[in-house]
């Protein structure tokens, strides 16, 4: 049943959550109360008719670069980072289950006793049946990030937009929590994000979105219900898209 309210601007979206988004106030790992809250928001947008794909990072558990900094081989450390994203995806699926939202975890690294492997037509089929698809293990390749995985999967899934969830209501010229003079942008082009080195997503992800004309929205999901507002075009957010 569709929820009441203004219609959705975007029907099929990919939500990119960083690992830190699952951490809450903790220094490490998964705070299930935060995951439960986020999954209620997902329930809200699926009830409103959205088809939802999710890519979750792994930075709350392990980051390849920090492993490499401690002397580990970078590729090995990156595989560990990808495994961390699988843990997060499983935790999120569990929370979605509790909300009564049907979901699938599809991993770019096959691990058949844990979850399904990523196969594009299978994922498309789940989305069109309104099941939430959680893409785990990033792109499956070291030296990439889950931001790039998010843009890649969004293009493969014909998503209309990628929503990158952050703790603030858009992109600023500097960290607004540290610099009171930071300028906030409503709208940016891909090349502005790259030229200003705005660090909202890595350059590879921005370039892939640009080359495929995929809009990126950066907004907060800190307040419950904001995700639905973003999809209705009612939230404060920054949109990155082709201009002119």
What are phi and psi for residue 41, nearest 5 degrees?
A: -65, -40
Part in contact with ligand UDP (CB under 6 A); list of ranges 78-86, 93-101, 120-128, 176-184: 78-86
CB 41 within 8 A of CB 88: no
Q: List CB contacts of 229: < 8 A, sequence separation 6 or more.
A: 235
Q: How far is the CB of 8 from ligand UDP (least distance, A)?
A: 25
Which of 10, 41, 64, 127 binds ligand UDP (CB under 6 A)? It is 64
Q: List CB contacts of 111: < 8 A, sequence separation 6 or more.
A: 86, 117
**Does 133 participate in binding ligand UDP (rule CB under 6 A)?**
no
Q: List CB contacts of 20: < 8 A, sequence separation 6 or more.
A: 57, 59, 60
Pairing mode, if any, of strands 184-185 and 171-172? antiparallel
**Does 138 participate in binding ligand UDP (rule CB under 6 A)?**
yes
Residues 79-108 that bind ligand UDP (CB under 6 A): 81-82, 84-85
Q: How far is the CB of 62 from ligand UDP (least distance, A)?
A: 7
Q: How far is the CB of 166 from ligand UDP (least distance, A)?
A: 11
Please give the structure tokens belonging to residue 120: 């594009």
Please give the structure tokens belonging to residue 185: 């942008």
**Does 18 participate in binding ligand UDP (rule CB under 6 A)?**
yes
Q: How far is the CB of 63 from ligand UDP (least distance, A)?
A: 4
Please give the structure tokens belonging to residue 58: 């792994």
Closer residue to ligand UDP in complex, CB, 99/141: 141
Closer residue to ligand UDP in complex, CB, 94/141: 141
**Does 166 participate in binding ligand UDP (rule CB under 6 A)?**
no
Cα→Cα distances 1→46, 47, 48, 49, 146, Å = 10, 6, 8, 8, 32
Interacting residues with ligand UDP (CB under 6 A)? 18-20, 57-59, 63-65, 78, 81-82, 84-85, 138-139, 141-142, 144-147, 149
């Amino acid at each position: 049943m569709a929820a009441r309210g203004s219609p959705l601007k975007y029907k099929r979206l990919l939500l990119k959550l960083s690992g830190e988004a699952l951490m809450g106030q903790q220094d490490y790992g998964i705070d299930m109360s935060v995951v439960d809250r986020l999954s209620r928001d997902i329930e809200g947008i699926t009830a409103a008719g959205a088809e939802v794909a999710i890519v979750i990072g792994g930075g709350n558990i392990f980051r390849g670069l920090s492993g490499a900094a401690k002397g580990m081989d970078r590729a090995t450390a990156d595989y560990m980072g990808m495994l961390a994203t699988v843990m997060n995806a499983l935790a999120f699926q569990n929370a979605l289950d509790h909300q009564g939202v049907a979901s699938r975890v599809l991993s770019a690294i096959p691990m058949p006793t844990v979850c399904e492997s990523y196969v594009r037509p299978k994922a498309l089929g789940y989305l069109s049946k309104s099941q939430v698809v959680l893409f785990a293990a990033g792109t499956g390749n070291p030296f990439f990030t889950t931001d790039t995985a998010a843009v890649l999967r969004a293009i493969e899934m014909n998503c209309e937009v990628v929503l990158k969830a952050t703790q603030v209501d858009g992109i600023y010229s500097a960290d607004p929590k540290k610099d009171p003079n930071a300028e906030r942008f409503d709208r940016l082009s891909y090349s502005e994000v790259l030229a200003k080195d705005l660090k909202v997503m890595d350059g590879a992800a921005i370039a892939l979105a640009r080359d495929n004309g995929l809009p990126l929205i950066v907004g907060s999901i800190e307040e419950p219900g904001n995700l639905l507002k973003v999809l209705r075009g009612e939230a404060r957010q920054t949109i990155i898209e082709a201009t002119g």
